[in-house]
């Protein structure tokens, strides 16, 4: 077993051989100018800033032999898996499925739905397309983890309070021990990230633990 003594709210123990790193939605549509995130009026530079940290975390996880799973929030070209309530919500300049600077917004196979180049998956790493906020909803993630004997999950990606937190809560309900890597996740809203970290580790790690990339890599001895 490996351990992170400085994890919050108390030390986190995990078996690297039974651990997966899940990198949530580090896609061009969320991270780059001209994508869906920017169309909502958000400052995407906040998300761009964590790319080097996420890259270092992924590299360390690869060296340690962890299973690595990349998720992408996107929908079928015919929008058959897109609820009308999701498409119609708010007043963005671009809606899901609309043509944008990087192709149709959040549509599988379009350039904007792809993971940013600096975090590109390697052959053999799982790339999981998900139609919702949580990575377990309407995907084979549960079976993928079961097939690999995974019991512990490390989380990175965006946004902290939406897709990352939703997936952590789904994982918690399914019996996984999860840790969110604090400096490898980000929100368009600093207060939302801070509140999410507090919620995750409140009441004795009610959802999970948090720690830094450096602490995770030290525990993995990479």
Supply the residues annotated as catalytic.
Answer: 25, 130, 163
Conformation bin of residue 28: beta by default, left when phi > 0, alpha when psi is -120 to 50: alpha
163 in Cβ contact with 134 (< 8 Å): yes
d(CA 200, CA 171): 12
d(CA 30, CA 48): 9
Q: Which of 219, 203, 210 is nearest to 179 (CA)?
A: 210
Q: Which two tokens stand for residue 188?
A: 């368009």
71 in Cβ contact with 130 (< 8 Å): yes
């Amino acid at each position: 077993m490996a351990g992170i003594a400085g994890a919050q709210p108390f030390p986190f123990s995990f078996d690297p051989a039974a651990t997966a790193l899940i990198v949530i939605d580090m896609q061009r549509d969320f991270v780059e100018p001209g994508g869906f995130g920017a169309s909502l009026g958000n400052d995407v530079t906040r998300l761009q800033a964590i790319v080097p940290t996420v890259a270092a975390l992924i590299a360390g996880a690869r060296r340690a032999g962890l299973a690595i799973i990349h998720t992408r929030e996107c929908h079928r070209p015919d929008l058959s898996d897109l609820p009308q309530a999701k498409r119609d919500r708010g007043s963005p300049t671009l809606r899901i499925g609309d043509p944008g600077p990087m192709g149709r917004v959040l549509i599988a196979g379009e350039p904007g739905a792809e993971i940013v180049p600096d975090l590109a998956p390697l052959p053999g790493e799982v790339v999981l397309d998900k139609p919702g906020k949580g990575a377990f909803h309407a995907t084979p993630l549960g079976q993928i983890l079961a097939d690999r004997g995974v019991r512990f999950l490390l989380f990175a990606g965006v946004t902290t309070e939406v897709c990352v937190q939703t997936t952590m809560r789904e994982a918690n309900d399914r019996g996984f021990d999860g840790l969110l890597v604090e400096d490898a996740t980000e929100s368009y809203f600093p207060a939302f990230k801070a509140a999410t970290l507090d919620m995750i580790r409140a009441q004795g790690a009610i959802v999970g633990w948090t720690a830094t990339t450096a602490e995770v890599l030290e525990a993995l001895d990479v």
